[in-house]
Structure 1
Amino acid sequence: MQVPFNMKRLIDTEIRFPQRFTTMVTKNWGFIFWNEGNKASHDSNHAVITDTIGVESSVRELEFFYKSKGISPRVYSALKANELERIRPALDGHGFTIDIMNDEYFVHDHESVLHPVEELHIDRVKKLDIDMMETIAVEFGGDWTIKVVEKHLQHPSYHLLGGFVDGELASLASVSVFAGYSRVDDVFTRNMFRGKGFAGAMIHHLINYHRGISDNYLYLYSNNPAAIKIYEKAGFSRVPQDFKTWIAYKE
């Protein structure tokens, strides 16, 4: 039996999800995620400040930590109302650049009106072959993504789905199953295969696939209007949120 939806639990899942592929250190002010084997990955190397009391010392500590590892300091939103107003002075004082992301969160709560595409054959991918590695590196712009996916694949609750056309990788999507909530990620269609309905077919398939493995709430986020239209057709609805999403970084 599914328990009532709880935004706080979704946020907690979202904040902690990188521990699947990186090291998470809990501090009295929040979390530090780091992976010296994949320094170029932002999701693998960032801090989240959940307690803004004494934020100046928190920023100083996380900056020192990442610089000592040879990693550019980076801070992600804790998905709390008005947090940036409290944190910004310390970030500005330490020379961080702040980007507002405007991400919106969605939960699947009604039936999809999308349909499969016969041309697209979708399977679960349990290991990346050379062709898939090359495709992922080109589409995402670096080997760091391959390292994240390979680390993910070691966890049984990570399900990577590949869409193939005549044996060639056309699209990807993944779902990570946590306690009560499952996170959709890694959604993309290669440029040469766009405009054929493959993105919608993949999301439609992922929803049905997820039903077969879990009764969790299925969620995702996006700030891409074209992608959001597909997600809404797939049965995802916006979740009311009182926070802004942002990242801060210092090169």
Structure 2
Amino acid sequence: MLLDKIIHFENHFAEVQSTVIDKPYGKIYYDQSNPLSYDSNHAFIYEDADYEIACKDIVDFYRSIDIIPRVYTFTKNSSAVGQFLEGKGFQKSMDEICFYVQKNKKFIDIPQTLRFKRLNGVNETVSELLSSDPEQGEWGYKSLLTSIDKKDFYLFGGYEGEQLVCISSLYKMNDISRINDVFTHKEKRGKGYGSQLINFVTEFNEKSLKTISYLYAHNPNAIKVYKKAGYEEVSGMMRGCYWLE
């Protein structure tokens, strides 16, 4: 099922922006240069693993590198892993995650005024773009620095003249891909640049990757754009974040 594929993807997504340690009980992801990124610094535990061994190993590892121990769970229902971690004193945050899958590819009817290309590096131009909105934070730039050289990771930029005004990434895993890092310069929003960007990514995927693409979105304005491009909501998954101070 598609939802199962998305859950599998989410459990492994951090591999593109982190160092990965494979364990019998799951995986540990970490990036000491980017400690503020929870997505880059967390573990996941298989539901049928030995939770006691996993918990001790994860806590010891993250504390050894001075990062808060953190575990993500992505499940359709309640997580036995999460229940165990709560019993061990972990704090938790639960979110009902809504992903949007492009089940019917469409091109948004909008004039193309930007020039797009694949970016093969992450430089000061990208940093300046992201810093236009403080909410993006330094962690977003550092995540791209780690991701850019990874296999099956694609970063695209949209240019107004010579100025980089928007970016988006695409990460492929088997027959499915995840759109991420969709960002438009704060002073350039409301001009339809996001729609042009999604059109470009749709065309790239159609011609080059031929995957089912999905993304996470919570901004109502962004969701309207994605729906115009044929994205449909796929709900029914819970994300748990558990951490130990």
TM-superposed CA distance for 1:124, in Å, is 1.3
Q: Which letter maps to 2:90?
A: F
Between Structure 1 and Structure 2, the one with more strand by share is 2
CA distances 1:222-244 after superposition (whole Å, capped 9, x unpaired): 23333222211111112353x31
Q: Following the alignment from structure 1 to structure 2, what is the Cα–Cα distance between the partners of residues 82 and 93? A: 15
Displacement of 1:160:
0.8
Contact 1:181 1:218 in 2 (8 A): yes
Identity %: 27
Do 1:160 and 1:172's aligned partners in 2 also have CA atoms closer than 8 Å? yes
Using structure 2 for the length normalisation, give the TM-score. Answer: 0.87
Alignment of 1:8 with 2:4, yes or no, is: yes
> Please, what is the CA RMSD of the aligned residues?
2.3
1:120 deviation in Å? 2.3
Q: Kindly indicate whether residue 126 of structure 2 is the aligned counterpart of residue 132 of structure 1.
A: yes
Out of 5-14 and 64-73, give the one that drifted further. Answer: 5-14
- 5+ unaligned residues in a row in structure 1: which ranges? none
Q: Is the 8 A contact 2:10 2:74 kept in 1?
A: no
TM-score (norm 1): 0.85
What is the rounded CA distance, in whole Å, between the counterparts of 1:87 and 1:56 in structure 2? 10
Partner residue, 1:110: 104
Q: Of the candidates 29, 35, 40, which is equivalent to residue 44 of structure 1?
A: 40
State yes or no: 1:174 paired with 2:206: no
Q: Does 2:70 correspond to 1:74?
A: yes
How far apart, in 1, do the equivalents of 2:5 and 2:163 lie? 38
In 2, Cα distance between equivalents of 1:107 and 1:163: 23
CA distance in 1, matches of 2:154, 2:83: 40
- 1:154 is displaced (CA, Å) by 0.8
Distance in 2, Cα, partners of 1:160 & 1:211 = 16
Identify which of 216, 219, 227 aligns with 1:224: 219
* Letter in structure 2 aligned against 1:77: T
Deviation string, structure 1 residues 18-60 (Cα, Å, up to 9, x no partner): 2223222233332211123332322221011222665355333
